[in-house]
Amino acid sequence: MPSSTSEGGAVPMIEALGVKKRFGSHEVLRGISLSVARGEVVALIGPSGSGKSTFLRCLNHLETIDGGSVSIAGEPMARTDESGRCVYVPDPQLRRICARTGMVFQHFNLFPHLTVLQNLIEAPMVVQGLPRDAAIARADELLAKVGLTQKRDNYPARLSGGQKQRVAIARALAMQPDVMLFDEPTSALDPELTGEVLRTMRELADGRMTMLVVTHEMGFAREVAHTVAFMDQGELIAARPAREFFADPGNARAQAFLNHML
Ligand code: ADP
Ligand code: MG
């Protein structure tokens, strides 16, 4: 498992400690701890409703946490104080930390009224203040990388699901994040379209992008992920090097889940 960074330190790119989240009386995350090193690819697996999406959303501040702490690239985003209250860092800093993570959703979430190119340049221009020319240059480079240069001026409605998801990946990369979070990026796709998206993700991993991927694609988890983490009922039950996990998940619930998936 890769753990050291090229900068010589070993600061995790994601460090979640005892993260708790409840919706009303339902405790959805019951103290999740997970650390992801620079360049590491972690596959997060587990049954539906186990809290995987909620956990990812907590890392990107799409949900607030109720307990524990989250740091991104060594920068604390939220922590729990002595009185048990969860405290976030002040807003400009919080937004800057969140911008270090890019998120890709199951349902793409592209802006339907914008072309592919416009989808890619919007946030770099508006959020990062990048001049239009520079944003376009960056977008063109990313479109070439995901193989969609020829779709540059199309609207999302004209794209296949696989193409939409590749645009969504390029759009997240346009913000130059240090970490990519994927929430079941191929679950909404017809089987014949998942391959192209997984290929794009594999290329990202080969380029040493730090990735946390919620997925039901056991092939991807086995071949691309360094580490597999298994969640069930709001708890992170097992996290092991992928090869070890598939040989022996070390836990009966994880084994039952694997038996069902494989
Ligand atoms: P997974 O991604 O593993 O399928 P989720 O994180 O989506 O699991 O959901 C975990 C649990 O939290 C589920 O029981 C779900 O119904 C509940 N949940 C998720 N989001 C909300 C919400 N906004 N309000 C209330 N309950 C929610
Ligand atoms: Mg989910």
The model carries a pTM of 0.94
* Calpha distance 257→262 (Å, rounded): 9
pLDDT the model gives residue 10: 84
Query: Nearest bound ligand to CA 49?
Result: 1
Three-state SS for 51?
coil
How does pLDDT run across 101-139, given as a tens digit for each residue? Answer: 999 999 999 999 999 999 999 999 999 999 999 999 999
Residue with tokens 């619930």: 253
Burial 201-218 (b: 16+ CB within 10 A, else e): beebbeeebbbbbbbebe
Pocket of ligand 1 (CB under 6 A): 23, 28, 46, 48-54
Cα 89 to ligand 1 centroid, rounded to whole Å:
25
User: Which one of 28, 107, 184, 216 would you pick to mutate in the ligand 1 pocket, going by the greatest count of ligand atoms within 8 A of its CB?
Assistant: 28
Three-class DSSP labels, 159-228? CCHHHHHHHHHHHHHCCCCCEEEEECCCCCCCHHHHHHHHHHHHHHHHCCCEEEEECCCHHHHHHCCCEE
DSSP secondary structure letter of residue 188: T
Assembly ipTM: 0.98
Residues 55, 37: Cα–Cα separation, whole Å: 17
Nearest CA to ligand 1 atom 27: 23
Ligand nearest to the CA of 27: 1
Among residues of the chain, what percentage have pLDDT more than 90? 94
Residue 190 backbone zone (phi > 0: left; psi -120 to 50: alpha; other: beta): beta
Q: pLDDT tens for residues 203-244? A: 999 999 999 999 999 999 999 999 999 999 999 999 999 999
Question: How many angstroms separate the alpha carbon of residue 155 from the centre of ligand 2?
Answer: 27
